[in-house]
Chains A and B, each alone.
Chain A
Amino acid sequence: MTIDWGIILESIPLLAEGVIVTLQVSALSAVLGLALGVALGLGAVLSVGPLPPMSISFVAHRFSSKSFWFSLPCL
């Protein structure tokens, strides 16, 4: 088997464009996910208003859904 180094070198800048998008997606998702997650987490801890049942049901559904467990091997 021969490794084509030319294509590898040629691909590095093309993949770097993908890295930028990956970092953008990750950073945006981290900020939004952190904000929502902290609100949901504190909502579950605080026993005030409609937030606790909403947040508990969201998190519980997230962890108990079959599609989530079936998709784990794909990750």
Chain B
Amino acid sequence: MIGIRFDEFSAGVVALSLNAAAFVAEVVRGGVGSIERGQAEAAKAIGMRHRQVLVYILLPQAYRQMVPPLTNELISLVKNSSLLSVISVYELTRAGQAIISVHFVPFEIYTLLALYYYVLIKALSWLSVQLERRLPTW
């Protein structure tokens, strides 16, 4: 319709990215907004500009609070990737559907798929916990 042709992989990545970007934007906005106003006011009082306040004062304090919701977003991104099976991206769910269409054993394959997703998400959760532990506390 707009004259740009994507293959299914690129189209899926673009769609998921745009979807995730809205959530990430809210996380960033909320994280920066959660820092008490006095911090920004004090920085402005010593002559910092708006961008300097953001970069040197607000973001270093906010990023620790942003990590848990961002890792949640990453986990939901992995789960949402199953939607790309609809546009025939050969990801995990599509691979399972292909096996089911050959062997007609949906119970076994979907159980196996659930296990695969569980392991993937458990690993990501573990990584996020490790990352949160390593972040400095103020």
User: Residues on A close to B: CB < 8 A?
Assistant: 1, 3-4, 7-8, 11-12, 14-15, 17-19, 21-23, 25-26, 28-30, 32-34, 36-38, 40-48, 55, 58-59, 62-63, 75
Contacts and interface: CB of A to CB of B under 8 A. Distances in A.
A25 B29 contact: no
A24 to B, nearest CB: 8
B43 interface: no
State the majority secondary structure of interface residues on B.
Answer: helix
**Which of B20, B25, B91, B98 has the most C-beta atoms of chain A within 10 angstroms of its own C-beta?**
B25
Contacts of A11: 96, 99, 108-109, 112
Interface in B71-119: 73-74, 77-84, 89-96, 98-99, 103, 105, 107-109, 112-113, 116
Interface residues of B, number: 54
Contacts of A23: 78, 120
Interface of B: 9, 12-14, 16-29, 32-33, 50-51, 54, 58, 70, 73-74, 77-84, 89-96, 98-99, 103, 105, 107-109, 112-113, 116, 120
A12 to B, nearest CB: 7
State the majority secondary structure of interface residues on A.
Answer: helix
Given A18-B92, A21-B89, A48-B50, A30 B28 contact: no
A37 B24 contact: yes
5 contacts: A18-B94, A33-B17, A42-B28, A42-B54, A45-B32
